Amino acid sequence: MSNNLHRAIIGFFYGIILSLICSFFITLVANASAGVFTVKGWFWFFFGLCVPLSITFGITGYFLTFKNLSMLKFWLLCVIFGFINVLYMGTVGAILGSAITYGLKNINVGGYFAWGPIYAAIFLPLSTLVVAGLIMGLRNVLENKKLLKTE
The torsion region of residue 66 among left (phi > 0), alpha (psi -120 to 50) and beta comes to: left
Of 85, 82, 90, 86, which Cα lies nearest the Cα of 111? Answer: 90
The torsion region of residue 70 among left (phi > 0), alpha (psi -120 to 50) and beta comes to: beta
Q: What is residue 92's DSSP assignment?
A: I
pLDDT along the chain (151 residues), means of 10: 77 86 82 75 76 85 72 89 91 86 85 94 94 85 71 48
pTM of the model: 0.79
Query: Can you give the pLDDT at residue 1?
Result: 60
